[in-house]
């Protein structure tokens, strides 16, 4: 771990320093005026994490309209949230570059700095501790809680990640504003232009496939096989559906193969996060792994059909009533693949494309999308 110049680790976590910090009487919910400046640290966030945290940012705007909000994040949604007015400034933590921004952010002397990370690492918690903010708030995780002046208790076993984030907001007196992500007219126009250029994929209702996900989804125990996605695309196209495949540029090989073999249109790398949201708004169904695109569609209340292996479903399951999750069997729901002797292709590879098509067809029929889907 690289630390800011002149701040050795021994100084940062010395017992004497932490004791005086932890017993600070400041509490952001005890008759204090709203902060005039706020740093929200979303370190390690991808598309899905940022979508799940979006109601927190919306709530901040409603509760503290005069507060200048700086978002420091690794998430690809930063420009979208800035353009939507959810934050006033964005600091992009490119390639995990956290400490390179420390001096500049510390000089700002924020009234409040919050860390939305929920795990047992100390990297971002230490960073927030050393910013010199008037108050700091973070989850009371082992090893992390000691770095914050106010801690939020998290339920690791029984709560969805959204419920823990909602508790975080409640601690600060911020309303939880679970509204669909805002999509601008410009993004809608760009999505329509992309769809207008599609050739050879029919004229029926739109179905999107999101076969990728962040880097840790590359393992077979977290991704439904590419050949199965192609099989599903062919079945949907044969019933008159227009099928598009979405993803980021790094997934072009994967998505290109699925599009070629499945007779679908490949829109990989052509849409920003906001334009992807606009595309999903035009879809009758989004099919994908338990990843950012599925959480985005779920937040937009678009029906989703997703696959899960190696993901704790209590924490990460899509929450909308229109969401369906397919597992190899019910016993996988609360387990992690590293503990499972049947991981890999034996897991998601056993979810047959025929079964998935039947589920997809049922969802489309329920939503009155196409009378010929069977």
Q: Are residues 200 and 279 in the same domain?
A: yes
Q: Are residues 229 and 348 in the same domain?
A: yes
Q: Are residues 160 and 198 in the same domain?
A: no
Closest by CA to 207, choosing from 189, 222, 195, 218, is 195
Residue 143 domain flag: yes
Burial of 49 (0-12, 13-18, 19+ CB in 10 A): buried
Query: What average pLDDT score do residues 88-104 get?
Result: 87
Q: Which of 114, 140, 171 is the last residue of a domain?
A: 171
Q: Are residues 73 and 199 in the same domain?
A: no
Residue 180 domain flag: no
pLDDT band at residue 96, thresholds of 50, 70 and 90? Answer: low
pLDDT value at 161 more than 80 = yes
Q: Are residues 233 and 107 in the same domain?
A: no
Q: Are residues 99 and 232 in the same domain?
A: no
Query: Residues 137-146: contacts with CB within 8 Å, 24+ apart?
Result: 137/28, 137/112, 137/113, 137/168, 137/171, 137/172, 138/114, 139/115, 139/164, 139/168, 144/115, 144/117, 144/119, 144/120, 146/18, 146/22
Q: Are residues 47 and 147 in the same domain?
A: yes
User: Which residue(s) pair with 42 in the sheet?
Assistant: 73
Burial of 138 (0-12, 13-18, 19+ CB in 10 A): buried
Q: Which of 216-225, 234-243, 363-372 has the highest mean pLDDT?
A: 234-243
Q: Are residues 220 and 142 in the same domain?
A: no
User: Quick one: pLDDT at residue 11?
Assistant: 32
Give the chain as a 3 state SS string.
CCCCCCCCHHHHCCHHHHHHHHCCCCCCCCCCCCCCEEEEEECCCCHHHHHHHHHHHHHHHHHCCCCEEEEEECCCCHHHHHHCCCCCEEEECHHHCCHHHHHHHHCCCCCEEEECCCCCCCHHHHHHHCCCCCEEEEECCCCCHHHCCEEECCCCCCCCHHHHHHHHHHHCCCCCCCCCCCCCHHHHHHHHHHHHCCCCCCCCCEEEEECCCCHHHCCCCCCCCHHHHHHHHHHHHHCCCEEEECCCHHHHHHHHHHHHHHCCEECCCCCCHHHHHHHHHCCCEEEEECCHHHHHHHHCCCCEEEECCCCCHHHHCCCCCCEEEECCCHHHCCCCHHHCCCCHHHCHHHCCHHHHHHHHHHHHHHCCCCCCCC
Q: How far apart are CA 62 and CA 85, in angstroms?
A: 12
Instruction: Report the Cα 200 to chain-centroid distance in Å.
Output: 32
Query: What average pLDDT does the structure give for the chain?
Result: 83
Q: Are residues 132 and 274 in the same domain?
A: no
Between 117 and 333, the higher pLDDT residue: 117
pLDDT band at residue 87, thresholds of 50, 70 and 90? Answer: very high
- CA geometry: angle at 38 spanning 71 and 45, to 5°? 30
Q: How far apart are CA 53 and CA 216, in angstroms?
A: 20
Q: Which of 171, 200, 217 is the last residue of a domain?
A: 171
User: Quick one: pLDDT at residue 202?
Assistant: 66
| Tokens read off for 275 | 């334009």
Q: Are residues 158 and 206 in the same domain?
A: no
Q: Residue 200's domain is classified under what CATH number?
A: 3.40.50.2000
Residue 115 domain flag: yes
Residue 179 domain flag: no
Q: Are residues 213 and 140 in the same domain?
A: no
Residue 22 domain flag: yes
User: Quick one: pLDDT at residue 342?
Assistant: 58
Q: Give the domain extent around 50.
A: 9-171
Residue 345 domain flag: yes
User: Quick one: pLDDT at residue 62?
Assistant: 94
Residue 338 domain flag: yes
User: Quick one: pLDDT at residue 7?
Assistant: 40
User: Quick one: pLDDT at residue 373?
Assistant: 57
Query: pTM for the full model?
Result: 0.85
Query: What average pLDDT score do residues 226-236 get?
Result: 96
User: Quick one: pLDDT at residue 148?
Assistant: 95
pLDDT digits (tens, 9 = 90+) for 6-44: 443 333 333 343 444 333 433 555 557 899 999 999 988
Residue 233 domain flag: yes
Q: Are residues 290 and 334 in the same domain?
A: yes
User: Quick one: pLDDT at residue 133?
Assistant: 96
Q: How far apart are CA 112 and CA 132, in angstroms?
A: 9
Q: Which of 171, 205, 236 is the last residue of a domain?
A: 171
Number of domains in the chain: 2
């Amino acid at each position: 771990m690289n630390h800011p110049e002149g701040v050795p680790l021994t100084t940062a976590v010395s017992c004497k320093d932490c004791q005086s910090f932890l017993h600070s009487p400041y509490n952001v919910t005890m008759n204090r005026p709203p902060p005039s400046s706020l740093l929200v640290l979303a370190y390690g966030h991808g598309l899905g994490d940022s979508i799940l945290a979006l109601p927190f940012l919306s709530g901040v705007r409603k509760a503290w309209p005069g507060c200048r909000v700086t978002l420091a994040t690794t998430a690809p949604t930063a420009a979208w949230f800035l353009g939507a007015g959810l934050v006033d400034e964005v600091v992009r933590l490119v390639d995990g570059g956290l400490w390179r921004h420390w001096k500049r952010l510390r000089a700002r002397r924020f009234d409040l700095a919050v860390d939305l990370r929920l795990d047992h690492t100390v990297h971002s918690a230490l960073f927030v501790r050393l910013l010199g903010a008037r108050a700091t708030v973070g989850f009371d995780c082992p090893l992390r809680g000691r770095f914050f002046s106010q801690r939020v208790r998290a339920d690791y076993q029984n709560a969805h990640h959204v419920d823990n984030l909602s508790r975080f907001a409640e601690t600060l007196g911020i309303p939880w504003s679970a509204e669909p992500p805002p999509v601008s007219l410009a993004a809608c126009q760009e999505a329509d232009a992309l769809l207008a250029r599609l050739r050879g994929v029919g004229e029926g209702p739109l179905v999107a496939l999101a076969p990728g996900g962040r880097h840790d989804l590359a393992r077979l125990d977290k991704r439904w096989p590419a050949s199965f996605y192609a099989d599903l695309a062919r079945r949907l196209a044969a019933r008159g559906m227009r099928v598009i495949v979405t993803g980021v540029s790094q997934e072009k090989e994967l998505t290109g193969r699925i599009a070629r073999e499945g007779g679908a249109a490949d829109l990989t790398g052509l849409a920003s996060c906001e334009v992807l949201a606009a595309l999903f708004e035009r879809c009758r169904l989004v099919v994908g792994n338990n990843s950012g695109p599925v959480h985005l569609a779920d937040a937009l209340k678009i029906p989703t059909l997703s696959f899960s292996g190696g993901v704790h479903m209590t924490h990460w399951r899509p929450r909308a009533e229109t969401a369906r999750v397919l597992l190899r069997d019910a016993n996988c729901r609360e387990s992690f693949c590293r503990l499972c002797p049947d991981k890999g292709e034996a897991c998601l590879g056993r979810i047959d494309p025929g079964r998935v098509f039947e589920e997809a067809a049922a969802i489309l029929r329920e939503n009155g999308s196409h009378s010929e889907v069977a």
